[in-house]
Amino acid sequence: MQRLQGKRVVVVGGSSGMGQATAKLLAEQGASVTIASRSKEKLRAAAEAIGHSVVTCELDMTDETQVQAFFEMTGSIDHLVITASDAVMGKFLEVPLIQARRFFDSKFWGQYMTARAAAPKIPAGGSITFFAGAASRRATPGLSCGSAINAAMEALSNTLAVELAPIRVNTISPGLILTPVWDSLMDPQTKQAVLNESAEKLPLRRIGTSEEIAHAVLFLLENTYMTGSVLFVDGGYLQT
């Protein structure tokens, strides 16, 4: 049985990684899926990889005008999932302020503006799913900027769950997940070393997959009694 038959879902950031895996799973469950991101090439490749009929749209979610126009075009939707963001790693005293601000513009303000534009298009019982990260709850050197943003996203989600009700608002907070974003943060050899070392510290002894995050998103979309929740999918990261 296709559990999302007839539902309209927008996945912002659906052209790669966790967003693409989410779009694929939701399409398999019968949803009419629109994926949006900044890259036309990535969108085209994602549509082919998903293997289902999906609508693609170029969108820079840090541009308020673009975001407003996008949701005027899409009309009513049942669910919004926002996975897109830039990423920055580095020590607090070393990360250039301009990069930190760009990270906030992307992951916090981008999600904020996207939800703000979409909410009037979502009926009662629909949902918004934000993305934060497990580093919000654990002090980790090199992740000060991301940790602050993740904590801010959790706080925003909790408040909107009350303010936007009966729209449901939840947050997925992943741990270490193997996605293409790692390629933008470090060279391949360093990446592999970091991931191997990190995996050994986790109770499950491995890095998570985008598909595992996608199943968590599906759970939040389907469970009509879930709102104001932060769902950690972190392989036990917070227990170490």
Question: d(Cα 70, Cα 63) in Å, to the nearest integer?
Answer: 11
Which runs of E-coded beta strand occur in the chain? 8-12, 32-37, 54-58, 79-82, 127-131, 168-174, 230-233
Q: Please provide the size of the chain in residues.
A: 240
Domains of the chain: 8-178+210-231 (3.40.50.720)
pLDDT digits (tens, 9 = 90+) for 12-55: 999 999 999 999 999 999 999 999 999 999 999 999 999 888 99
Q: What is the pLDDT of residue 169?
A: 98
Which one, of 69, 32, 38, lies nearest residue 54 by Cα? 32
Q: pLDDT tier at 187 (50, 70, 90 boundaries)? A: confident
Q: What is the pTM of this model?
A: 0.94
What percent of the chain has a predicted confidence (pLDDT) above 70? Answer: 99
Share of the chain above pLDDT 90, in %: 82
What average pLDDT does range 121-146 have in this prediction? 94
